[in-house]
Structure 1
Amino acid sequence: MLPRQPQKILVTFLMHLGDLLLTTPFLEVLRRAYPEAQIDYLVDKKLAGVVQENKHVSRVLEIDKKGQDKGVMALYRYAQRLSQENYDLVINLHPNERTSFLTANIKAKCKVGACHFLFRPFYNQVIKLKRQLHAADMYLQVLQQLGITQDLTNQGLQMPVSEAALAVSAQFYQQAGLKVQEKLIGLNIGSAVLTKRWAGERFAQVADSLNAQGYRVVFFGGTMDAELVQDAVSYMHTQPLIATGKFSLQELAAAMQRCSLIITNDSGPMHVAISQNVPIVAMYGPSSPKLYGPYTERALIVRAEPPCLDCAGGMRHKCEKMDCMRNLTVAQVLQAAQEMLRSEDKSEL
């Protein structure tokens, strides 16, 4: 049984960038349920910037899951340190082996949430994630299943940015020669999953077309996307701004605020853009928009016509055909971009 008014709560989640952003509505609702509690959030060290400015979190705890905290013994030692915090309630949001093992070894008054079957005996209450829901709603449903609250209303994905990040972003655009009156469109061409990537040559065509219409274009992405962006730019006839690999996560979010629109593959940075309330056009191939789509009304999803059904039984990480992305045309993306831009222009009147 859950403690009635826990004073110290630990939430654990060690998944990827987009997944972490999809838990931010959960944090908002949890804070509303326990306004006076200390709510700590344990996340992957490299993603701490996603929640470091989140007002619903008391402390962000970092774990270097691919570095010094990798391995069973390192996780066990980390759990022992967390045990010294004497948490009233630990909530684990994902049943992967790493966080299940970690939370199983934390001494706390009550441990609940999703859990790998091997570690269920160490939990006070285990819940099963409702994977038929959109991922953000799936994490929110954890609060209902635990009986914490039935009111799941929220403001969507949230990633507040610091003044320092805004200053870095402003300096980048100033040095790039971007004028105040110029409209900027961002492109995010990377994705951790190869089959989610739309061709760089087609991004180049989109960029050139938008530039011809008077828009400036900026490429975003991390250092791992540098070669993809370099390849795309090699096909262009106009000169874009290149922000790839130049920003921290906080700075990326700040830089995206300047955009009138972001055109993107299904990826973590897509969710960053959504957290900044920037309108997006998102290309979807093997993944399901119903489960992992834009958690916002300010989005248009573009898919190949006719749709490819090869991933109907689940997303493929490898595919020789990739018809779902190859049959998604430049004309479709430009049409969606124009539609979204017109819609945004009307809303500003």
Structure 2
Amino acid sequence: MYQNILVINLMQIGDLMLTTPVLGALRQAYPQAQLTLLADTRWRELVEENPHLDACLFMDKKGADKGLAKLWQFIHKVRALKFDLVINLHRNERASAVAAFSGAKYIVGYSKPLFSLLFDKTMQNPSIAHHIGWGPGGVFPPHHYVPGWEHQVHAHLNVLRKFLGIEPEDDGLEMALSEENQQTADKLWQEHFTEEDKVIAFNIGASWETKRWPDNYFAKCADKLLEQGYKIAFFGGPMDLTIVQKCISQMQYKDSEALHIFTGKVSLAVLAGLLRRCCLFLTTDSGPMHIGVAMNLPVITMFGASPVPGFYPYDGRSVLLKSPEKCHPCGIHQCPRTGAENLACMKNIPMAAVMHFAEELLAKFQGQPAYKLPPHKGDYQCRVIDLSKGEF
């Protein structure tokens, strides 16, 4: 029986959110253990209130803990905590090094080569894409791109099955808020909306250009929903301000009092507190998409470059529109196609399809806010609309 457990995921918002089912499963399997999570300090609000955790460690990868010498100092800090089980849930060099040199009695999960020699058990992460061979000169596009074939949550839970011999319960994505952050979100909501308002959230930014649905499509959807009496709330981080402003400039109702802009103005925790009061989320494949799922908010998302099996919204009520382009999924951050064919994967996801499913979900759930919707444990396979097969 393990008494002191460390789970590692030092990646981005979405990756960290997709780790949360593991925390609940470990708490159920080892109720008396000290359970700690190591994450990037930028995303501490996502996990620091998680009810399954006893402690968090945060690494400032881009600041105080940057560089090889600082990494080694951080590893010494981890070693001093004398973990008897370390589970690494992302195969990158930094996380692999922390796990490998943690001094734990049992080290399992994903690992880069060489570091894996110090793990007790490793496995391939079947949710992550692989590039086999490269184009001329070793540049993109890859000769052969193999997308992940299993959802990241399932892959992580299989680590527990395979290496710990437990049958983990899957409670889906989770995010808890501090009382202070919830109160901040509630106050902000009251300043912008009434209790009767039906608010649809928009997140139009994404880390890759190839994950972004055209901003003029979002603009037209926002106009149509405003015409139907809904309120619109734009979210996103400071890096999304320019594209949000461009999107809104193309709207017919850009000066409407029913249009509210929170882009760059709220923390991740306050974002979560606001999303739980919305009734639908139109979003790209992004970190906020997974936060919306954790807040019980039905999602409509569009996947162009992104592989569907590994990262679809983990919610059976949500809808994913899959690009009809033959090059989907490419996993490329910038589209190599030129002219009218540039970003065709996203351009060819029609606005009419997004509006059809938006109106379907709004009718189904009667525009209720996410926090009033019933739980749906075990129902995590979203509805995938394959536009290449004429499913719309």
TM-score, normalisation: structure 1:
0.94
Residue number in structure 1 paired with 2:155: 138
CA distance in 1, matches of 2:118, 2:303: 39
1:311 matched to 2:332? The reply is no
The AA in structure 2 aligned to 1:185 is: I
Query: Which of 256, 260, 265 matches 2:275?
Result: 256
- After superposition, the C-alpha distances for 1:259-308 in whole angstroms (9 at most, x for unaligned) are 0101111111000000000011111111122221011112011234xx10
CA distance in 1, matches of 2:96, 2:322: 36
1:244-323 matches, within 5 Å, as: 244-304=263-323, 307-312=324-329, 314-319=330-335, 320=337, 321-323=342-344
Residue number in structure 1 paired with 2:195: 180
CA distance in 1, matches of 2:120, 2:245: 51
- After superposition, the C-alpha distances for 1:243-262 in whole angstroms (9 at most, x for unaligned) are 11111111111010110101
Query: Which of 206, 209, 218 matches 1:191?
Result: 206
Q: Which piece of structure 1 moves more, 98-107 or 12-21?
A: 98-107
The AA in structure 2 aligned to 1:255 is: L
Residue number in structure 1 paired with 2:175: 159
| Structure 1 position 103, deviation (Å) | 2.0
CA distance in 2, matches of 1:336, 1:125: 44
Q: Which piece of structure 1 moves more, 285-294 or 273-282?
A: 285-294
1:1-349 matches, within 5 Å, as: 5-131=1-127, 132-149=149-166, 151-176=167-192, 178-238=193-253, 239=256, 240-304=259-323, 307-312=324-329, 314-319=330-335, 320=337, 321-345=342-366
Partners of 2:26 and 2:168 within 8 A in 1 = no
CA distance in 1, matches of 2:168, 2:42: 29
- After superposition, the C-alpha distances for 1:136-169 in whole angstroms (9 at most, x for unaligned) are 11111110110330x2332211011122112111
- After superposition, the C-alpha distances for 1:42-94 in whole angstroms (9 at most, x for unaligned) are 00000111111111111111000111111111111000011111111111111
| Structure 1 position 222, deviation (Å) | 0.8
**Alpha-carbon RMSD:** 1.6
| Structure 1 position 326, deviation (Å) | 0.7
CA distance in 2, matches of 1:160, 1:309: 40
Q: Is the partner of 1:94 in helix, strand or coil?
A: coil
CA distance in 2, matches of 1:236, 1:346: 23
The AA in structure 2 aligned to 1:274 is: V
What percent of counterpart residues are identical? Answer: 38
CA distance in 2, matches of 1:183, 1:345: 9
CA distance in 2, matches of 1:38, 1:226: 41
| Structure 1 position 124, deviation (Å) | 2.2
Q: Is the partner of 1:117 in helix, strand or coil?
A: coil
Partners of 1:129 and 1:142 within 8 A in 2 = no
| Structure 1 position 346, deviation (Å) | 9.5
Partners of 2:328 and 2:345 within 8 A in 1 = no
- Segments of structure 2 that go 5 or more residues without pairing to the other structure are 128-148, 375-392
The AA in structure 2 aligned to 1:269 is: P
CA distance in 1, matches of 2:203, 2:263: 9
CA distance in 1, matches of 2:117, 2:208: 34
- Segments of structure 1 that go 5 or more residues without pairing to the other structure are none
The AA in structure 1 aligned to 2:114 is: L
Q: Is the partner of 1:296 in helix, strand or coil?
A: coil
CA distance in 2, matches of 1:81, 1:290: 37
| Structure 1 position 311, deviation (Å) | 3.2
The AA in structure 1 aligned to 2:316 is: E
Partners of 2:223 and 2:252 within 8 A in 1 = yes
CA distance in 2, matches of 1:91, 1:300: 32
CA distance in 2, matches of 1:92, 1:289: 23
The AA in structure 2 aligned to 1:155 is: D
The AA in structure 1 aligned to 2:162 is: Q
